C-alpha cells in the first residue's frame, strides 16, 4: 500500500488520492475474496443451497473491480459517477455479506467479514464526499 | 444477439433474461466504444484538452462491464444491487456523453451517441424494475 | 458494429483497427454468453457435475474481457502483449468449449458454439499477426 | 492477505491456493498501480510523450485483472489456461515496466518497480507449474 501512497504523492494532481489508498486496498482484496468464496462454494456438497451466494460473490467482485479502478483516476474524478458507483458497491458488499452470513462454511464467514469491512469503507468514503461536496 | 436470447430461453430460470439481451448488447458495445475513443483521444494533438474525456471513457467502460455481467446472472439477480449498479452506469454514460460532446473529433461524436443510447437503455431498465418491483 | 468501424476510421492512427471490429464483437459476445451459461448451470439440478464448466465459463469470460480491451487500443498496440493474450484467450475458449460440449444442456451447447467461433477468430488474428510481423 | 490464506485453508479443495495468495496480491496491487500511473501520466505536461506508457498501463492492468481472477478459482483450475494467461501477464508487466522506465516521473518509477515484481512473480509461478506438471 505504501507504493500506491507514494504514487499519489508523485501524481501532479494526486493530493486527494492518498485518502483512497486504503479503500482501493479493501476493494481489491474483497474482489479476490469473493472469487475465492465462489470457487470454494462450488466445491461444497450443498452447492445448490449456495447458488445465490455464488452469484452475489460475483456481483460484489464486479462492483468492487469497477469502483477500485475509478478511485485510481483521481485527477479527472467525476464526483457524480464515483458517488453512484460507491453506492452500488456498498449495496453489493452488503448483500454479499448477508448471503455469506447464511452459511456456516468458514470461507463464507471470512468473505462476509471482508464484505462488511468494504461496505463500511464505501460508507465512510460517501460520507466524506458529502462533506467536501 | 439471437444466441444470447436462445441461451436465456434454455436457462432453467431465464425467462426474465430475454429482456436483458438488448441492454447487455448496448453495454458491451458502449464499453468497446469507450476504450476505442480513449485510444483515439490519446492519438490526437490536443490530448491535454482530452484528458477528462479519456478518464470519463474508462469510468464508463468499467461501469458498463460490471453492469453487463450482473445482467447475465438473471437466475440469482439481486434487485437492489442491479438497480444501484444501473444508476451508476446511467450516470457514467451521461457524463461520458457530455465530455465527448465537448469535442469535435468524429470518434468522440460516435462515442457520445453510443453512451446516450446506453444511458437511455439503463433508464428504461430502471423504469421497468420500478414497475415490476 | 458499424459504429466501431466508423470510430476506427475517425481514429488518427486507427487504420489497423477496422480489422479488429469483428473479433472485438466475438469476444464481448462470448464473454456475455459465458456469464449466462455459468448462471444457467448454477440453476440446473446437476450443478455439482457442472462445477468445472462454471469455472471454465468465468476463465473464458475474463480472458475475453482482457483481450477485447487490448484490441481497442490500436494506436499504441504492443504486438508481444497482444499475441500472448490472444493465445491465452484462444486456449480459454477452447477449454470452455470442451467443457460445455460434455453437457447436454442447450445453454451449454450454444455457449460451446460461441466459444469455438471465438477460438477460431483468435486463431485467425494470430495468423495475420505472424504474417504482418 | 492472511484472510485469503485462511479462505484457501477453509476451501474444500484449496490446498494449492495458499501458494497463490502472494501472487494474487502482487497482481491486484500492480493493476491498481497501473491505473494510477495512467491517470498521473494524463496530468503531466508531456502527455503526448506518455501515450504509449498510458496504453501499456491499461494493457497490464487488464492482464493482471484476468490473471488474479483465474488464480482465485483454484478448485477447478485449468492448467493450460492459467499457464498461457500467466505468460500473457508476464509479458504485459515486462513491457509496461520497460515503458515506465523510459520516463523520469516518480509515479512511472514506482509503477515500473511494481510491474517488475509482478513479472517475476508470474515467472516463479510458471516455473513451479512446469515442475509440478
Residues of D in contact with A75 (CB under 8 A): 39-40, 42-43
Across B12-32, average pLDDT = 92
Q: Which residues contact B23 (CB under 8 A, 6 or more apart)?
A: B71, B121, B122, B124, B125
User: CB distance C75–B105 less than 8 Å?
Assistant: no
Q: What gap in Å lies between CA B95 and CA A83, rounded to an integer?
A: 13
pLDDT value of residue B57:
98
pLDDT value of residue A124:
96
In the predicted structure, residue B132 carries a pLDDT above the cut 70:
no
Across D58-68, average pLDDT = 98
Higher pLDDT, B92 or C13: B92
Interface test with B, best of A60, A68, A76, A129 (most B CBs within 10 A): A76
- Kindly list the partner chains of chain C, i.e. chains with 3 or more CB atom pairs below 8 Å: A, B, D
Report the greatest alpha carbon distance in chain C: 53
Place of cell 476504450: B35
Interface residue ranges in chain D relative to chain C, Cβ cutoff 8 Å = 51-52, 54-56, 58-59, 62-63, 65-66, 69-70, 73, 75-78, 80-81, 84-85, 87-88, 91-92, 95
In the predicted structure, residue B76 carries a pLDDT above the cut 90:
no
In the predicted structure, residue C8 carries a pLDDT above the cut 70:
yes
User: CB distance A32–D39 less than 8 Å?
Assistant: no
Q: How many CB atoms lie within 10 A of CB C51?
A: 19
User: CB distance D95–C81 less than 8 Å?
Assistant: yes
The model's pLDDT over A82-96, given as tens digits with 9 standing for 90+, comes to 999 999 999 999 999
Q: Among partner residues C58, C73, C88, which is closest to D84 by beta-carbon distance?
A: C88
Interface residue ranges in chain D relative to chain A, Cβ cutoff 8 Å = 1, 3-4, 6-14, 17, 24, 28-29, 31-33, 35-40, 42-44, 61, 65, 68-69, 72-76, 105-107, 110-111, 113-114
CA dihedral B119, B120, B123, B125 (to 10 degrees): -110
Interface test with B, best of C11, C17, C73 (most B CBs within 10 A): C11
Interface test with C, best of B19, B22, B29, B36 (most C CBs within 10 A): B36
Asked if residue A43 lies in contact with residue D11, where contact means CB atoms within 8 angstroms, the answer is yes
- Smallest CA–CA distance, residue C56 to chain B, in Å, is 16
pLDDT value of residue A131:
63
User: CB distance A47–C43 less than 8 Å?
Assistant: no
- Residue C63's pLDDT band (cuts 50, 70, 90): very high
Residues of C in contact with D52 (CB under 8 A): 76
In the predicted structure, residue D133 carries a pLDDT above the cut 60:
no
Q: Which residues contact D36 (CB under 8 A, 6 or more apart)?
A: A4, A7, A8, A11, A14, A17, A72, A74, D107, D111
Q: Give this complex's ipTM.
A: 0.95
Mean pLDDT of chain B, nearest integer: 94
CB-count exposure of residue D132 (10 Å: 0-12, 13-18, 19+): exposed
Q: What gap in Å lies between CA A68 and CA D55, rounded to an integer?
A: 19
Name the CA radius of gyration of chain C, rounded: 16
Q: Where are the beta strands (DSSP E) in chain C?
A: none
Q: Where are the beta strands (DSSP E) in A33-121?
A: none
Lowest-confidence region among A8-22, A73-87, B54-68: A8-22
Interface test with B, best of D37, D43, D46, D48 (most B CBs within 10 A): D48
C-alpha cell at position B131? 414497475
pLDDT value of residue D132:
60
Asked if residue A77 lies in contact with residue A58, where contact means CB atoms within 8 angstroms, the answer is no
Lowest-confidence region among A19-23, A113-117, C83-87: A19-23
Q: How many CA atoms lie within 13 A of D8 on its CB side?
A: 20
Three-state SS annotation for D69-110: HHHHCCCCCCHHHHHHHHHHHHHHHHHHHHHHHCCCCHHHHH
Q: Which residues contact D5 (CB under 8 A, 6 or more apart)?
A: D18, D21
pLDDT value of residue D92:
98
Q: How many residues does chain B have?
A: 133
pLDDT value of residue C24:
97
Asked if residue A92 lies in contact with residue A131, where contact means CB atoms within 8 angstroms, the answer is no
User: CB distance B32–C6 less than 8 Å?
Assistant: no
User: CB distance D14–A110 less than 8 Å?
Assistant: no
Amino acid at each position: 500500500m505504501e507504493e500506491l501512497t507514494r504514487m499519489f504523492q508523485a501524481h501532479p494532481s494526486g493530493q486527494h488520492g492518498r485518502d483512497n489508498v486504503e479503500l482501493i486496498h479493501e476493494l481489491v482484496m474483497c474482489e479476490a475474496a469473493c472469487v475465492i468464496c465462489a470457487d470454494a462454494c462450488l466445491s461444497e456438497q450443498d452447492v445448490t443451497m449456495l447458488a445465490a451466494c455464488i452469484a452475489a460473490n460475483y456481483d460484489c467482485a464486479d462492483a468492487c473491480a469497477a469502483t477500485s479502478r475509478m478511485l485510481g483516476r483521481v485527477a479527472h474524478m467525476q464526483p457524480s459517477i464515483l458517488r453512484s458507483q460507491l453506492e452500488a458497491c456498498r449495496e453489493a458488499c452488503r448483500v454479499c455479506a448477508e448471503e455469506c452470513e447464511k452459511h456456516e462454511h468458514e470461507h463464507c464467514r471470512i468473505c462476509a467479514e471482508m464484505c462488511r469491512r468494504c461496505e463500511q469503507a464505501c460508507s465512510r468514503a460517501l460520507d466524506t464526499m458529502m462533506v467536501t461536496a
